[in-house]
Amino acid sequence: MGPSTPIVRHYTIADFEIRGPLGKGNFGNVYMACHFIVALKVLFKSQIEKEGLEYQLRREIDIQAHLQRTHNILHLYNYFHDARRVYLILEYAPRGELYKELQNSHAFDEPRTATVMEELADALTYCHEKKVIHRNMKPEKLLLGLMGEVKMADFGWSVHTPFSRRKKMCGTLDYLPPEMIEGRIYNEKVDLWCLGVLCYELLVGNPPFESTSHSETYRHILKVDVRFPASIPLRAWDLISRLLRYQPSEQQPLAQVLKHPWVRAHSRRVLPPAAQMASLALSTPILL
């Protein structure tokens, strides 16, 4: 993926006016900060070191720094660190988490869901062209921009893999594909499985394989045991069933997701104006 862009200037916390909290994570917090308006993700080095996640953080930064040419991926503008913390300067997504909107609505209608599918299929196409597998796409990892556009925001489990062959299990239980559960070698098509699970969850309000125990969830996933309620439109049912396949080779490719009749009929995607990015160039690697 290449080295990071040469440093333009060093940042410290004094360069930002902290306005208020946006969210909490396992190892730190996210705040609204003014430089121009950005989100400032603050991570504690002690927690990262305790969990042995130094490499994962470097990988996350490197991947997100090189995925900057689509509106549907949250931009990482820069990063810096001091003795105790690492700071990621991120694009501010004013409408917050997709998960919270889904909770408030319980389920989305066809236009909203089809729009999300088109936006994410386009963003994943870009990721896969860059040899990046996301591996953990779910409502909690997706943010919403000013116009409601979806932004892939968390690349903590993502991997840059030029040869597209991995074996590590990672992600969220309800979204795990069969090949991960069975320990098979997998590739970027695990993201297509996640896209199918997400489409179902947005339309129904809960993921398709959710159960009372891990073992029962695993069993449903391995059998691809999906119960489609009557509320799911037939053409959306068709798209989901084409993405949730036991054999990855049988899955609907992303190009066909973008052309699927249900997506084309219902998506209301609007491309927002280009984000302001020029003044914040990426800096040199973090020293944890």
Query: What CATH number does the domain containing 157 carry?
Result: 1.10.510.10
The answer as to whether 164 is a domain residue is yes
Which of 91, 121, 137 represents a domain boundary (last residue)? 91
- Is residue 83 located within the same domain as residue 200? no
Of these ranges, 88-92, 111-115, 138-142, the one predicted with the greatest mean pLDDT is: 111-115
Q: Are residues 57 and 114 in the same domain?
A: no
Residue 281 placed within a domain: no
Q: Are 260 and 252 in contact (CB under 8 A)?
A: yes
**pLDDT one-digit tens code per residue, 33-53:** 765 688 989 999 999 999 998
User: Which region among 28-37, 173-182, 219-228, 274-283 has the lowest average model confidence (pLDDT)?
Assistant: 274-283
Q: Are residues 257 and 120 in the same domain?
A: yes
Q: Is 50 exceeded by the pLDDT of residue 276?
A: no
| Residue 6: inside a domain | no
- Cα 93 from Cα 99, distance rounded (Å): 13
Q: Are residues 31 and 162 in the same domain?
A: no
**Average of pLDDT values for 230-239?**
96
What percentage of the chain carries pLDDT values higher than 90? 62
CATH number of the domain that residue 53 is part of: 3.30.200.20
Provide the β-strand partners of residue 78: 89
Q: Are residues 175 and 231 in the same domain?
A: yes
Binning pLDDT at 50, 70 and 90, where does residue 170 land?
low
Alpha-carbon span 8 to 68, nearest angstrom = 18
3-state helix, strand, coil in the chain (%, to 5): 40, 15, 45
Q: Specify whether the CB–CB gap between 239 and 260 falls below 8 A.
A: yes
Domain boundary among 91, 124, 139: 91
Q: Are residues 104 and 84 in the same domain?
A: no
Residue 158 lies in domain: 98-266
Answer yes or no: is 277 within a domain: no
Tell me, yes or no, whether 57 and 106 share the same domain.
no
Residues 121, 21 share a domain: no
Query: Does residue 46 share a domain with residue 112?
Result: no
Would you say the pTM of this structure is higher than 0.95?
Answer: no
- Grouping H, G, I as helix, E, B as strand and the rest as coil, residue 83 is coil
In degrees rounded to 5, what are phi and psi of residue 274? -60, 140
User: Is residue 194 within 8 Å of residue 175, measured between CB atoms?
Assistant: yes
- Least Cα distance to 149 among 81, 206, 91, 80 occurs for 91
Q: Total domain count for the chain?
A: 2
Where does a domain end: 57, 72, 91?
A: 91
Residue 126 shares a structural domain with residue 81: no
Candidates 252, 132, 250, 126; CA nearest to 188 is: 132
Q: Could you tell me if 26 and 119 lie in one domain? A: no
Q: Is the pLDDT at 166 greater than 60, yes or no?
A: no
pLDDT value of residue 165 = 56
Q: Which tokens in the block code for residue 243?
A: 């993405």
Please give the Cα distance from 134 to 169 (Å, whole number): 13
Same domain (yes/no): 153, 261: yes
